[in-house]
Amino acid sequence: MTRFFPLLIAAWATFGLMAVSAQAADVAANSRPNILLIVADDMGYTDWGGFGGEIHTPNLDKLAAQGQKFSQFYTAPTCSPTRAMLLTGIDHHQVGMGSMLELLRPNQIGVPGYEGHLTHQAVTLPELLQDSGYRTMMAGKWHLGLDPAQDPTQFGFDQSYVMLLGAASHFSDEAPYAPNYPPIYRHNGKQVHTPENFYSSNFYADQIDTWISKTPTDQPVFAYLAFTAPHDPLHVPD
């Protein structure tokens, strides 16, 4: 059975680290452990039981209890800058994401550090792992660039199915979250439309599961599962 070193990251005021769960013995026994990085979008710091929230979250609480909670971890206050920090390990200004593209002010346009997309000024985590023989994959919210040259496949991901913008309908209607910002989806760099039975959380998880199942068991895997939920609009399947 494929074993994974799970990382759970949840976002508050768009993003922030909440819990890491690891089986230390498994990691020590395997110098290249399989890694599953899970991101929950726009989830409040105290929206789950692990940090005293009132919402019943037994699975998240179990991960936190078995792993490590980072109570002094800091990050940027919005989506794109923090995702840039997560994937590069450095300050978001150093890789072009001083601000979200949608929030760039006139005096920021053209200023170094405010390119509005992830740049190649730093090596990304998937690029490092790719160089170490990992099979890398991503499904979910990208929000680090719109042009084909800014696609996840250009930053170390072998496989990707992503929504490029910050939010949208969680269903197949592809309704925009905000006027003039229709969602854009790409599968391995090619623009696509969501299937008829699309529900964001289920679909992205299924994509990762399918890719993992097709990867030889002797090849390590890095899977980045970036849910768009629970970011509004608050949609749940029937």
Catalytic residues: 79, 143
Q: Which amino acid is at 36?
A: L
Q: Are 58 and 82 in contact, with CB atoms under 8 Å apart?
A: no
Kind of pairing, strands 135-141 and 159-163? Answer: parallel
At which residue do the structure tokens 């976002």 appear? 11
Within 8 A by CB and 6+ apart from 117, the residues are 96, 97, 101, 144, 145, 146, 147, 150
Would you say 166 and 80 are in contact if contact means Cβ atoms under 8 Å apart? yes
Cβ count within 10 A of residue 63: 21
If we measure between CA atoms, which residue out of 182, 190, 184, 183 comes closest to residue 159? 190
Q: Rounded to whole angstroms, how far apart are CA atoms 206 and 89?
A: 28
The CA distance from 161 to 205, in Å, is: 11
DSSP state letters, 44-99: -TTSSGGGT-SS--HHHHHHHHHSEE-TT----SSHHHHHHHHHHSS-GGGGT-SS
As to burial, measured by CB atoms within 10 angstroms (0-12 exposed, 13-18 middle, 19+ buried), residue 152 is buried
